[in-house]
């Protein structure tokens, strides 16, 4: 099978910050000669973990696999065969979107063992890229929204434990609206947001591309 990389978009928007970052990461991987696919989670009909524990039943047909059958199932199978996985999400109320959280439950939990120490049923080591777009200002994850930073670090650590290694890209103070005057958003300086969109977000996109290329470089 040809080498393949998959990305999961946890944003309801298909052409905004998170999706753009994922497209850049996948383009970086593609530059090394691998096939890529971007999955928009909000197009799928699926739910999170059902707590059935079929994925941990010794001798069971679903050991190490999520037993639920729905819109996410074929993409979990693709992720199992991928050379790398990219997970992208906006930050909603201090954590990843609901769609991304449900995806992470279904993607991570089946491989995690309840042993001491905990182990993984994933059969090899692959890199996982975690890309987040947020309104938080630079440095905010270590200051006013430290709890959010801790939550994201837990996910990164879990990804490393299960799949072998992981890396995060945090994109701060992102552009949310085409016209800020239409929304109850007076706390934001629209001109400053626009400048950041023009000057900083392209740098974030370059970092995403570099991550994708680096993952495929070994």
In the prediction, which pLDDT does 140 show? 62
**Per-residue confidence (pLDDT) for residue 181, from 0 to 100:** 87
Cα(76)–Cα(55) distance, integer angstroms = 13
Give residue 146's pLDDT: 60
The CATH number covering residue 99 comes to 3.40.50.360
pLDDT at 25: 97
In angstroms, what CA-CA distances link 158 with 114, 141, 195? 13, 19, 35
Find the domain containing 9 and state its range: 4-217
What's residue 139's pLDDT?
64
Computed over every residue of the chain, the mean pLDDT equals 91
Average pLDDT value for residue range 18-45: 96
pLDDT digits (tens, 9 = 90+) for 77-96: 999 999 999 999 999 888 89
As for how many domains the chain has, the answer is: 1
* Closest to 198 in 3D by CA, of 182, 174, 177: 174
pLDDT on residue 148: 75
Given a cut of 60, whether residue 1 has pLDDT beyond it is no
Q: For 159, what's the count of Cα atoms within 13 Å in the CB-facing half-sphere?
A: 22
Per DSSP, the residues of 15-51 read SSHHHHHHHHHHHHHHTTT-EEEEEEGGGS-------
Task: Tell me the average pLDDT across 28-52.
Answer: 96
Using an 8 Å Cβ cutoff, are 160 and 152 in contact?
Answer: no
Residue linked to tokens 């973990």: 49
The three-class DSSP label of residue 3 is coil
Q: Which helix (H) or strand (E) holds 195?
A: helix 190-199
- Mean pLDDT over 99-116 rounds to 95
pLDDT tens sequence across 195-214: 999 999 999 999 999 999 99
């Amino acid at each position: 099978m040809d080498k393949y990389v998959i990305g999961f978009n946890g944003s309801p928007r298909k052409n905004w910050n998170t999706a753009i970052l994922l497209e850049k990461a996948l383009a970086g991987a593609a530059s090394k000669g691998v096939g890529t696919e971007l999955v928009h989670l909000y197009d799928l009909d699926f739910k999170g973990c059902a707590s059935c524990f079929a994925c941990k039943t010794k001798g069971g047909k679903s050991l190490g696999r999520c037993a639920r059958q729905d819109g996410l199932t074929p993409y979990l199978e693709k992720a199992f065969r991928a050379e790398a996985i990219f997970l992208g999400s906006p930050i909603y109320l201090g954590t990843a979107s609901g769609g991304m959280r449900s995806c992470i439950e279904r993607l991570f939990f089946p491989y995690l063992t309840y042993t001491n120490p905990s182990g993984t049923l994933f059969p090899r080591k692959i890199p996982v890229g975690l890309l987040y777009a947020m309104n938080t200002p630079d440095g905010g994850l270590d200051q006013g929204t430290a709890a959010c930073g801790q939550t994201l670090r837990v996910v990164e650590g879990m990804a490393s434990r299960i799949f072998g290694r992981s890396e995060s890209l945090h994109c701060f103070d992102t552009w949310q609206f085409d016209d800020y005057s239409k929304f109850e958003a007076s706390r934001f300086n629209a001109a400053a947001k626009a400048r950041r969109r023009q000057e900083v977000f392209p740098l974030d996109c370059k970092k995403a591309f570099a991550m994708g290329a680096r993952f495929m470089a070994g």
